[in-house]
Chain A
Amino acid sequence: MPKLTIDNREIQVPTGTKVIEAAERLGIMIPRFCFHPALGSVGACRVCAVAFTEGPVKGIQMSCMIDVQDGMVVSTTDAEAVDFRRHVIEWLMLHHPHDCPVCDEGGHCLLQDLTVAGNHGIRRYRGLKRTHNNQDLGPLVQHEMNRCIQCYRCSRFYQEFTGYRDLGVMGIGSRVYFGRSVSGVLESPFSGNLTDICPTGVYTDKPSRYFGRRWDYQRHPSLCLHCSLGCNLTASARYRRVVRHEARPNLEVNGHFLCDRGRYGYAYASAADRPRQAMAAGTPGTIADILTGAQEAIQRTVEQYGPGSVAVATSSRSSLETLALLKQACEQHGWTGPATTQTDRQALNQRTAVNCLRPELAVSLAADTEAHDVLVIGADPLNEAPMLALSLRQVQRSGGHVTVIDPRGVRLPFDFDHWAVHPSAMGAIVQALIQEIAGDGTAASTEFDVTRLARQLNASPRPSVICGTDILTSREIALAGDLAQALCRTHRVAGLFYVLTGANAFAAALTQSERVSMETVLDRIENGSVRLLVAVEQDLWREFPDRKRLQKALKRLDHLVLLDYVNSPLNHEVSYFIPTQPIYESGGHWINQEGRLQGASAVMAGGDTIEVTGGLDHPPRVFESHIPGSEQLAAWRALAALTEDHAKTVKAIQEETLRSALADFHPAVDTTSAQPTGQRIDLNAVSHAGVESTEGPVPVVNEASSDTVLLLLVDWTFGTETLSAMSPTLEKVEASPVAHMHPDTIASFGLAEGKPVTISVDARQLTVPVQADPRMAPGVMVIPRHHLLEWQIFGETRVIVKRSQLNADGV
């Protein structure tokens, strides 16, 4: 490890570190535009100049281009270096369009900061300025090319880092231009990061265009809830409206970036139709009264039918606090639940994945980028957990290889191997792989070269297995765990990475004492044993896969108590509706899919946004001390009030209830000690028993036959996940729903590409255009759980559809 001196202070850093990074470790921020920790150095901007006074390198050099060497002596304050940097700033400002006052970057602009730091307050250049035309880059990113300083960060990020090609650098000389060859919507689902990485205001956040300055925003660390990866972000709010998400660097999770679903999915929190009023059967009341009403209803039901007649259900987007209180309430009062998933299959999948994730195998999203050969089983990264695709892109960039075994026409922004395997054959293939890897391979001959893949994984310095939990069965999920273990036995290092369904799916799986899902709760409602349901932050209307059954069953309940912050048609029908606070108001903890416990702060106090209180004009001219429309509680507070007699108003009692609930939550989750959040929970304490046996041949399920097609309801990057699908911004970039099928399957079922198909289930129909995808497995039909589709007719998200159910005429 070379040792060098920077500004008279010594530091030892690993070989290969750049001088600019070494200085940063000493807390010395050398100015930079083109250097970015995720993108590396190019030496384009020349603003990081420092003086090397002694040692192997001498003179003024770019600190981002020089690797540290033993004995270097660096001065960042050397007069010549300071003068050099001052001139660089001045010439970077020659063509600057003088538009900071109307630029949205103003206030957090690196160019602004360094211009001030370089003491370049007054323009000396009197010549003419070069100008550029802007492009329309779609609804997410605003383009203002005149502000560019040619640092190349955007093209390096867009093309090299994410692997998309539609934005880059054009032109020569002083006419260098960054944009698309023609105006148009950016193709990359990571395009929002351009607004973060551009050091000036060329790319700014379009949804918050001209809305405010960063210094006026309430900014706090928060988390993304739109998939299970738990990317870290900084949320900004102003006048009680969530305005913007920015990536919050976490080198173990999302690195420096976010996907566009995470960046632009926040609109639900300040939506005009967000329910803010407590109601009993549609009649508004104070939240205290409604809570009392609900509590009395629970008591009456328990007295009359016993504690098991009260069921609680929540979803995997609820915070750890909420889950802990629900778990405690069920244990203490004997209530049914908590159900944390919609279907039994999802519950089993979640639990299997969590149980199979042994501590020696678990890898983080960031560690995935260091893997060398990655096998993705039953996951569609770009659609299910977009940032995973970005991680895999880094694997491929550094010479690794990615193989995807999935029936869908998986697309990734780089070259990879795709085995389009029918879901019913996936288990057998994974099992064959395990046998091959363990060396007792008698791989059944299939069209796929299992032996070659096994050999490749075996020869890899660092193999990793990524497995989805949405379309697979628990059997395959457990097999993926076995595969990682087999690799671990031959390799000592192997990674296992499950993609779960929901931001807190890991914690939700830890609450499952018995297998209870919404499906089982409905069974019990139907047979009369459950009379009252408390549904917490779970949008049954949108998420339960059988809407008709749901509606019927809910009608049989004596009482339905709903706690949520999104608008749903059910809100006005239920006996008691209690408005809760989204993550921006409540904060809380979430456990991501690798078991990492992460915290989010509250960003703002809730209440009607200023658009509501003031129309589009100024806020009302009244003095008052309370915020209109702010009568909501964090779900866990409302639950504490429901379960504890005295907790209705006394916050301290609510907090005490929470503390005890968290302490009892799970031995693996230590929230009482000083364990800093952001660390992985103790996976050793998670029961690895109870995993379904993976011995014996995989049972052949009759899912593949010429007379049926296997329908998979899946996630898309945009338009399917409940919360982000409410974003008007993302609605502009989402694709309209289609049913994807292999061309041969389309033909064999007498359907026509581009024409609608109608699928009938018990007198209910779903009509959706068919689109051919030759990269898919035959015999499969893939439909997104799109908010524009009424897909809630199938009862499950993986079902067999018979030929007779498909109708080509589209009516």
Chain B
Amino acid sequence: MSEDKLKTDEKPLKPTESSGWSALKALAEGFATTAKHLARKPITESYPEVKRQLPERSRARIVLTHDPDGRERCVACYLCSAVCPVSCISMQSAEQPNGRRYARWFRINFGRCIYCGLCEEACPTSAIQLTPDFENIQRDILTLVFEKKDLLVEGCGKDPSYNYYEHAGVTTDQRGKGEHASETPPVNVKSNLP
């Protein structure tokens, strides 16, 4: 390595910048900060004495929500179980007499869930949602396996309006062909009119 490269363009220090002076200054500043905070109210909140309201979007315990009209939202499409990177969702789809597809059983193993939120992102019906409730600790690992009854909550959760069966063109007890959003009545195939 050549001598030139080691050279710097630093100027010589002024007296006020000498090492002794700056050390004193830093010391004084540090004590001042400490003294200031000694007199202040603490901002750290002690958990669990204080429980903070977490942002709506924080990702913890998963719930299954309902449609605005109060029916189960999940159509057991298997998208959440497919996307889950740790494969902790399992379910069995089936058909209800009213024509709706639903989950006969639905299970999430929270012992395995990493709260990544991919299931929520994949869900086409807004059924599965992560909530801010992170206090989900159990001594017996089996109690971390949640069944459908443990997952279902009242209401729509974060999505107050979406109703999948209003849009999907399949027949249920509520809507027939041509009665969903942006549909025209079913065509008459026997007609020859243009």
Residues in chain A near residue B142, CB distance under 8 A = 621, 623
Residues in chain B near residue A209, CB distance under 8 A = 95
Residues in chain A near residue B68, CB distance under 8 A = none
Interface flags, B40-82, vs A, CB<8A=1, else 0: 0000000000000000000000000000000000011111011
Complexed CA–CA distance, A107 and B83 (Å): 12
Complexed CA–CA distance, A97 and B177 (Å): 10
List residues 130-183 of chain B with CB under 8 A from any CB of chain A: 142, 145, 147-148, 164, 167-171, 177-178, 180, 182-183
Residues in chain A near residue B177, CB distance under 8 A = 131-134, 146
The reply to whether A129 and B182 form a contact with Cβ atoms under 8 Å apart is yes
B184: Cβ under 8 A from any A Cβ: yes
Residues in chain B near residue A555, CB distance under 8 A = none
A461: Cβ under 8 A from any B Cβ: no
Complexed CA–CA distance, A42 and B42 (Å): 78
Residues in chain B near residue A616, CB distance under 8 A = 104
Total number of residue pairs linking A and B with CB closer than 8 Å: 106
Shortest CB-to-CB span from B13 to chain A, Å, is 62
Residues in chain B near residue A102, CB distance under 8 A = 75, 77, 101, 168, 170
The reply to whether A128 and B148 form a contact with Cβ atoms under 8 Å apart is no
The reply to whether A172 and B192 form a contact with Cβ atoms under 8 Å apart is yes
B194: Cβ under 8 A from any A Cβ: yes
Residues in chain B near residue A212, CB distance under 8 A = 78, 92-93
Residues in chain A near residue B86, CB distance under 8 A = none
List residues 620-647 of chain A with CB under 8 A from any CB of chain B: 621, 623
B1: Cβ under 8 A from any A Cβ: no
List residues 101-134 of chain A with CB under 8 A from any CB of chain B: 101-102, 106-107, 126-134
A210: Cβ under 8 A from any B Cβ: yes
Known: A216-B78, A618-B105, A623-B142. A97 touches B169 (CB 8 A): yes
List residues 386-421 of chain A with CB under 8 A from any CB of chain B: none
The reply to whether A134 and B78 form a contact with Cβ atoms under 8 Å apart is no
The reply to whether B168 and A175 form a contact with Cβ atoms under 8 Å apart is no
Complexed CA–CA distance, A233 and B170 (Å): 31
The reply to whether B75 and A131 form a contact with Cβ atoms under 8 Å apart is no
The reply to whether A175 and B189 form a contact with Cβ atoms under 8 Å apart is yes
A170: Cβ under 8 A from any B Cβ: yes
A173: Cβ under 8 A from any B Cβ: yes
Shortest CB-to-CB span from A624 to chain B, Å, is 12
The reply to whether A131 and B183 form a contact with Cβ atoms under 8 Å apart is yes
B6: Cβ under 8 A from any A Cβ: no
B125: Cβ under 8 A from any A Cβ: yes
Residues in chain B near residue A211, CB distance under 8 A = 93-94
Known: A102-B75, A617-B105, A621-B142. A97 touches B187 (CB 8 A): no
B186: Cβ under 8 A from any A Cβ: yes
The one of A128, A144, A175 in contact with B183, judged by C-beta atoms closer than 8 angstroms, is: A128
Known: A130-B187, A171-B187. A146 touches B169 (CB 8 A): yes
Q: Which residue on chain A has the smallest CB distance to residue B171?
A: A134
The reply to whether B169 and A99 form a contact with Cβ atoms under 8 Å apart is yes
B12: Cβ under 8 A from any A Cβ: no
Residues in chain A near residue B124, CB distance under 8 A = 100-101
The reply to whether A618 and B147 form a contact with Cβ atoms under 8 Å apart is yes
The one of A98, A133, A173, A175 in contact with B167, judged by C-beta atoms closer than 8 angstroms, is: A98
A56: Cβ under 8 A from any B Cβ: no
The one of A126, A131, A617, A618 in contact with B178, judged by C-beta atoms closer than 8 angstroms, is: A131
Q: Which residue on chain B has the smallest CB distance to residue A209?
A: B95
Shortest CB-to-CB span from A647 to chain B, Å, is 38
Residues in chain B near residue A99, CB distance under 8 A = 168-170
A676: Cβ under 8 A from any B Cβ: no
The reply to whether B78 and A213 form a contact with Cβ atoms under 8 Å apart is yes
The reply to whether B183 and A215 form a contact with Cβ atoms under 8 Å apart is no
The one of B82, B147, B188 in contact with A213, judged by C-beta atoms closer than 8 angstroms, is: B82
Query: Interface size on A (CB < 8 Å)?
Result: 41
Complexed CA–CA distance, A621 and B146 (Å): 10
Complexed CA–CA distance, A146 and B93 (Å): 22
Known: A131-B169, A210-B101. A101 touches B75 (CB 8 A): yes
Residues in chain A near residue B105, CB distance under 8 A = 614, 617-619
Q: Which residue on chain B has the smallest CB distance to residue A172?
A: B192
The reply to whether A215 and B170 form a contact with Cβ atoms under 8 Å apart is no
Q: Which residue on chain A has the smallest CB distance to residue B78?
A: A213
Shortest CB-to-CB span from A339 to chain B, Å, is 44
Residues in chain A near residue B145, CB distance under 8 A = 621
List residues 88-135 of chain B with CB under 8 A from any CB of chain A: 92-95, 101, 104-107, 124-125
Residues in chain A near residue B147, CB distance under 8 A = 618
The one of B77, B164, B168, B184 in contact with A130, judged by C-beta atoms closer than 8 angstroms, is: B184
B185: Cβ under 8 A from any A Cβ: yes
Residues in chain A near residue B94, CB distance under 8 A = 210-211
Residues in chain B near residue A129, CB distance under 8 A = 169, 182-184
Residues in chain A near residue B164, CB distance under 8 A = 101
Residues in chain B near residue A133, CB distance under 8 A = 177, 186
The reply to whether A128 and B182 form a contact with Cβ atoms under 8 Å apart is yes
Shortest CB-to-CB span from A31 to chain B, Å, is 23
Complexed CA–CA distance, A127 and B182 (Å): 7
Complexed CA–CA distance, A610 and B104 (Å): 12
The reply to whether B185 and A131 form a contact with Cβ atoms under 8 Å apart is yes
A177: Cβ under 8 A from any B Cβ: yes
Residues in chain A near residue B79, CB distance under 8 A = 101
Known: A131-B184, A131-B185, A618-B148. A97 touches B170 (CB 8 A): yes
The reply to whether B82 and A215 form a contact with Cβ atoms under 8 Å apart is yes
Residues in chain B near residue A106, CB distance under 8 A = 77
Shortest CB-to-CB span from B90 to chain A, Å, is 8
List, sorted by A's number, 23 A–B pairs whose CB atoms are closer than 8 Å.
A97-B169, A98-B169, A99-B168, A100-B77, A101-B164, A101-B168, A127-B182, A129-B183, A132-B186, A171-B189, A175-B189, A177-B187, A177-B189, A210-B94, A211-B93, A213-B78, A213-B82, A215-B78, A216-B78, A216-B82, A618-B92, A618-B107, A618-B147
Q: What are the 4 A-B residue pairs with the smallest beta carbon separation, nearest first?
A: A97-B169, A618-B105, A101-B77, A99-B168
Q: Which residues of B contact A (CB under 8 A)?
A: 75-79, 81-82, 92-95, 101, 104-107, 124-125, 142, 145, 147-148, 164, 167-171, 177-178, 180, 182-192, 194
Given pairs A97-B180, A101-B75, A210-B95, 11 additional interface contacts (CB within 8 A): A100-B124, A101-B77, A131-B187, A133-B177, A177-B189, A212-B78, A212-B93, A215-B82, A239-B92, A618-B92, A619-B105
